[in-house]
Structure 1
Amino acid sequence: MSGAQTGPGDPRAASAAVWGVVGATGTGKTALSLELAEALARTGRPAEILNADAMQLYRGMNIGTAKLPPHERRGIAHHLFESLDVTEDAAVAWYQPTAREVIADIHARGADAILVGGSGLYVSSVIFDFQFPPHDEALRAQLEAELTAQGPGVLFARLRAADPVTAARIDPKNGRRVVRALEVLAQGSTTHGASLPEAPVLWHEHTRLVGVAVPRDELVPRLDARVEAMWQDGILDEVTKLREQGLEQGVTARRAIGYAQALAQLQGELTQAEAIAQTQTLTRRYARRQVSWFKRYSQLQWVAPGYPVQQLLDDASYA
C-alpha cells in the first residue's frame, strides 16, 4: 500500500467515498471495478479495491473463484484477497470489522474504497448499519455436529417450524446459514437470518452502489462455459494442492461451489461430467439468489457490462 497519509481533518479523507460494485457471478464486476478505479484516478481521486467475495478470501482458491491474478490488477491496490487459509472459517462477523478497518485506512490515504463482489451478506454487512446477534460456540458445535450427521434438511425443517419468516429467506441447502439462524433463535434473540434488515441504513455517508446485470438468457451460457473452463484450466490440480493444505478439514472452503464437486471427483464419488454438470446447476442457482438479494438495494444503480464509467462519476458529481 502506498500514498500520502492524510490527517483526520483533511478534506480528502472527509469526502472519501465507498463504492459498491455488486451483482451475480460472471457479470463483469471485476472489469468494472478496475475501470472505475482508473477513472477516479484521472479525476485526481485515487481508489483502492476491496474484496467482498467470501471464497476469494482464501489463499490458493483461484481458478474456481475467478480471482484476478496480481499481474492483471493494473497497479491498483487490492485488499482482502488471499487473507485466510482453507482451514479457517470465512465468517461475516469477522469480515465486517476487518473490511471497515481497511476502508478507514484507504480513506486516511485520501482514496475512495471500491467494494467488489457478489456475496450479498458480506457486502451488506459493510455498507449498511448491520448488527450481528451473539455467538454461542458450544451451541454452534452441537448444531454443526447435527448438520454433519443429519444433513441440512432436518435442521431446516426445525428452523421453518420455529421461525418461518427467517426460513423463507434462507437456502434450505445452505447448512451454515441454517445453523447460524438456529443458534441465534436458541439464545432467545431475534434474527435477520441471512437477510437485510427491514429498513437498512447506510453505514458510510458517501456510498454509491452499482450493480452489473446481464440478461438471464445471456448469463446462463456464460456461466456454463465458465464452469467448463474451470476444469480445463486445472481446478483438479488446484484442489489436489489445497487438500495438502487441509481443504477437507475446512468448514467453509471445502463446501464452495466447484471445489466440493472437484473434491468429490478426486474421491471417486462423481465422474468429471457429473462434477461439471452439478457445478453448473449450483452456479446458476447461486446467480439467481444473488440477483434476488441485490434487487432489494433501493440505492442501487443497475448497469450493463461496458457501461461508461465516466457516466457513473458524472452521476455522482465527480469532476
Structure 2
Amino acid sequence: MEAPPVIAVVGPTGSGKSDLAVSLALELDGEVINADSMQFYRGMDIGTAKITEAERRGVPHHLLDILDVTEEASVSDFQQQARALIADIHGRGKRAILAGGSGLYVRAALDVLEFPGTDPQIRRRLEAELEAAGPAPLRQRLEAVDPVSAGRLGDARRIIRALEVFELTGRTFSSFMPAREYYQPAVQIGLDVDRELLRERLARRVHAMVDRGLLEEARRLDAAGLRKGRTAPRALGYAQFLKVLDGTASVAEAAEETVVATRQFARRQLTWFRADPRVSWLDWQDPGLVARATGLCRTVPVQPLA
C-alpha cells in the first residue's frame, strides 16, 4: 500500500480555509483534521467561526470539540493525535487534510519536530515568581540562557515555558525548532489574500458574531469555567466579551477591540506562513481555486506505507 501526501490548508483567519478543505475532501475522498487550537473547545462555536454540520457537507471532521474550556490545549498531544489520525485515514485509502491557522500546530503535525516534556513543580515555581516580581526578572534570566527565545517571545506564559524547558532538559527552547523538514510527504496550500479586503471581511465577521449571540455564548462558557482555563480564555472575542460581563466594556467597545485584535492576529499568521517556503500560495478569490488546489495535491508522489 502507498500513502498520499498529507494536505494542509493554511493562511490567515477569515480567508476561507475550512471551505477549501471541505471542497478538497469532496474532490479527493478525504477527511478533515482541525488544526485550529481554539476549535478544540466544546461550546466555543460562534467566536471561533467553527464550521457547522451543514457547512461540512458530509465530510468527516476530526479534533473538533475535544476539550472542555477548563482544559489546556497541548501541541505535543495534538501532534500525537493528528499523526494517528493521518495514519488511520491513509490506511483506509482516504486523504488526510489539515485545516487551520495555528501555525505551530500545523508544523507539529507535518514536520520533524520534537516537544520537550513538562514539570508541574517547575511551572508552579516560575508562576509564583511571576506573581511576586512580574515578568522582568524572568525575561532577564531567559536572556542569559536563551537569547534567541528571549528575542522572540513576548508574553509571560511563553517565557515561563522556555525557562521550564531549559531547567528540565538543559537545552534552549529555541533548539527544539529545527530546520523545516517534513515528517512524511506533504503539500501546503496557502490562501493568498487581499489585505484590505480581508480587513473589511474580518470586521463584518466579528459584527455578525455579535448578532448571532457571541455575548450569550461567552456568558455560558463563563458559567462553565472559562476563566479557569489556561488556553481558552485567551481566544479572540471571548477575552473581550468577558469585559462586557464584568461591566467594564460595552458591547460596541468589545466588538471593536475584537476587530482590532483579529486583524493583528491575521497579520501574525501571514508572517508565520509566509516564512515557510514550502507553502504554495493560491488566490483566495480565484474562481478556479478548488481545481488549482486539487491539482497541487496530486503533484507530490505517494510513498509506501510503513
2-side partners of 1:212 and 1:153: how far apart?
Answer: 38
The structure whose residues are more often helix, as a share, is: 2
Specify the alignment match of 2:98 in structure 1.
115
Query: 279, 284, 303: which one pairs with 2:258?
Result: 279
Specify the alignment match of 1:238 in structure 2.
217
Cα pair distance change 1:302/1:157, threshold 3 Å: farther
Residue 133 of structure 1 contacts residue 189 of structure 1 at CA under 8 Å; is this kept in 2? no
Query: 169, 175, 189: which one pairs with 2:171?
Result: 189
Task: Give unpaired runs (5+ residues) of structure 1.
Answer: 1-10, 41-45
Instruction: Normalising by structure 2, report the TM-score.
Output: 0.90
Specify the alignment match of 1:52 in structure 2.
35
Give CA-to-partner distance per residue, 1:244-289, whole Å, 9 cap, x none: 2111111111121211111121011222232122222221111111
Identity rate, percent: 46
CA RMSD of aligned residues (A): 2.0
Task: Give unpaired runs (5+ residues) of structure 2.
Answer: 300-306
| Alignment length (residue pairs) | 296
Q: Does 1:218 align with 2:197?
A: yes
- The 5-angstrom pairing of residues 15-54 of structure 1 reads 15-40=3-28, 46-54=29-37
Instruction: Normalising by structure 1, report the TM-score.
Output: 0.86
1-side partners of 2:204 and 2:210: how far apart?
Answer: 10
Specify the alignment match of 2:295 in structure 1.
314
| Structure 2 residue identity aligned to 1:32 | L
Query: 256, 262, 266: which one pairs with 2:241?
Result: 262
Residue 32 of structure 1 contacts residue 306 of structure 1 at CA under 8 Å; is this kept in 2? no
How far does residue 146 in structure 1 lie from its aligned partner after superposition?
Answer: 4.2
Residue 124 of structure 1 contacts residue 130 of structure 1 at CA under 8 Å; is this kept in 2? yes
Residue 10 of structure 2 contacts residue 191 of structure 2 at CA under 8 Å; is this kept in 1? yes
| Structure 1 residue identity aligned to 2:111 | F
| Structure 2 residue identity aligned to 1:53 | D
Q: Does 1:124 align with 2:104?
A: no
For the residue of structure 2 that corresponds to 1:88, the secondary structure is coil
Cα pair distance change 1:190/1:159, threshold 3 Å: closer
For the residue of structure 2 that corresponds to 1:60, the secondary structure is coil
Specify the alignment match of 1:180 in structure 2.
161
Residue 146 of structure 2 contacts residue 174 of structure 2 at CA under 8 Å; is this kept in 1? no
Specify the alignment match of 1:290 in structure 2.
269
How far does residue 99 in structure 1 lie from its aligned partner after superposition?
Answer: 1.1
Residue 32 of structure 1 contacts residue 305 of structure 1 at CA under 8 Å; is this kept in 2? no
2-side partners of 1:150 and 1:229: how far apart?
Answer: 41
Specify the alignment match of 1:68 in structure 2.
51
Query: 220, 224, 228: which one pairs with 2:207?
Result: 228
Query: 200, 204, 207: which one pairs with 2:184?
Result: 204
Specify the alignment match of 2:303 in structure 1.
none
Residue 192 of structure 2 contacts residue 282 of structure 2 at CA under 8 Å; is this kept in 1? yes
2-side partners of 1:38 and 1:295: how far apart?
Answer: 27
Cα pair distance change 1:145/1:254, threshold 3 Å: farther
| Structure 2 residue identity aligned to 1:33 | A
Specify the alignment match of 1:4 in structure 2.
none
For the residue of structure 1 that corresponds to 2:10, the secondary structure is strand
2-side partners of 1:285 and 1:48: how far apart?
Answer: 30
